[in-house]
Amino acid sequence: AQNALFQSQKLEAIGKLTGGVAHDFNNLLSVITNGMALLRMNGVDQQNLSIVESIERAVTRGATLTRELLTFARQQPLKQERNNINAIIRSFEAVLRRANTGAVSLNLDLGGHLPDVMIDAAQFEAALLNLIVNAQDATPDGGTIDVRTRVVALDVNDVGTLPAGRYVAITVSDTGVGMSPDVVSRATEPFFTTKEIGKGTGLGLSQVYGFIQQSRGDINIDSALGKGARISIYLPALDDAIAAVVNKDKDRESVLVV
Ligand code: ADP
């Protein structure tokens, strides 16, 4: 709990700082973007075309980065609503498949009936996309990414400090490069990244972590170097009254690794 408190205070401080910098930086980018448009209008000769194009690509990358930073810093209030995770994933499947550009096969295993959860659907989609993009980045030479949903019964402290109860578990597994123990323990820190400058912001998992905590859930990272990664999100299931339909989780190993 202390770690969670530290994490959220750190997030807040970093968020404020980042928001200011990203905002100013965005203004500078607009000046460059407008300048480039003017250059194009005046006509760019063949000799300079590739230079102009590379500047435009860099500006686009910069704009993506500042957008991510602003989203992170804004920490928008969540629209927590009763939702079914399988329904969200199904309605989002086409986008997921389009995002999956590499030589990676993406499998969805949305088994059986899931109880509803309280979640901001748009934020959940963003979180899932984050996990899938990370999984892709970790499998540059191809491999598989499995997205699986199920209901699990957790005992107290099985996952982080979650209370005992029924949870909807969403697991994204990949067959990629995996993480060392040090990377596993730092992966949700804001700005922690092992990716090259311009590629990673180190904000993906910290955003997912913050959002899932706010939704009264938790995430678990299970990974070793060369062994791929399995990131699981746990969200408290609503409707204990329909507990009868719950398929009690058989593969407990996936929820006991911390
Ligand atoms: P970013 O993707 O911008 O680096 P994240 O917060 O999403 O930021 O991830 C932090 C770090 O965690 C990554 O740089 C990477 O080292 C590690 N990581 C995250 N997901 C995976 C994965 N599926 N496989 C291997 N490493 C991962």
126-172 confidence digits (pLDDT tens): 899 889 989 999 998 889 999 999 999 999 989 998 999 999 999 99
What pairs with residue 165 in β-bridges? 154
| Distance from the alpha carbon of residue 72 to the mean position of ligand 1, in angstroms | 16
For ligand 1, whether the C-beta of 104 sits within 6 Å is no
Pairing of strands 165-174, 229-236: antiparallel
Mutational pocket test of ligand 1: of 205, 223, 231, the residue with most ligand atoms within 8 Å of the beta carbon: 205
Instruction: Tell me the per-residue pLDDT of 29-82, one tens digit each, with 9 for 90 and over.
Output: 988 998 999 999 999 999 999 999 999 999 988 888 887 777 777 666 788 999
pTM over 0.80, yes/no: no
Question: How many angstroms separate the alpha carbon of residue 106 from the centre of ligand 1?
Answer: 18
**Residue 137 alpha carbon to ligand 1 centre in Å:** 8
Ligand 1 contact, 169 CB (< 6 A): no
Q: Kindly give the number of the ligand 1 atom that is closest to the alpha carbon of 204.
A: 7
At 102 the pLDDT is 66
Query: Which residue CA neighbors atom 25 of ligand 1 most closely?
Result: 178
Strands 104-110 and 143-154 turn out to be parallel
User: 116 exposed, middle or buried (CB, 10 Å; 0-12, 13-18, 19+)?
Assistant: middle
- Whether ipTM > 0.95 holds is yes
**Higher pLDDT pick, 14 / 175:** 175
Decide: 176 in ligand 1 pocket, CB within 6 A.
yes
Per-residue model confidence as pLDDT tens digits over 238-255: 975 444 344 444 343 333
